[in-house]
Amino acid sequence: MKNIPLKSYAIPLVIIGSLLSSQTVMAEPHPGKVLHDDNNCLRCHVDKPYNPSKTDSFPKLIKSVRFCNENLGIGLFDDEIEELADYLNQTYYQHPK
């Protein structure tokens, strides 16, 4: 029987391990994205989706989301409003919290 150095197995094992682990771990979407998509926010915000200069802080962003929720009768709870605002902030605004 031929002795094969252990080093020759290292790279293929690392490659196989990384392929298997990347296929089994799937990222969950941000809960705010789910709310954004489910409530079709872009039906109103389609032309100019989101304006960071108009909503220039995270508290104002929450206030804007709350405004849409109340005026359109969407029915989001406070925690969902914050999740949606967090998603919008991460995706479009990047305001400090």
Take residue 58 and report the two structure tokens written for it.
């995270």
Take residue 33 and report the two structure tokens written for it.
């994205």
Tell me the mean pLDDT in the region 24-37. 87
Residue 28 has pLDDT above 60, yes or no: yes
Nearest one of 91, 93, 72, 73 to 34, comparing CA atoms: 91
Work out the pLDDT band at 59, boundaries 50, 70, 90.
very high
- Each residue of 69-79: pLDDT tens digit? 999 999 999 99
**In this structure, what DSSP letter does residue 41 have?**
G
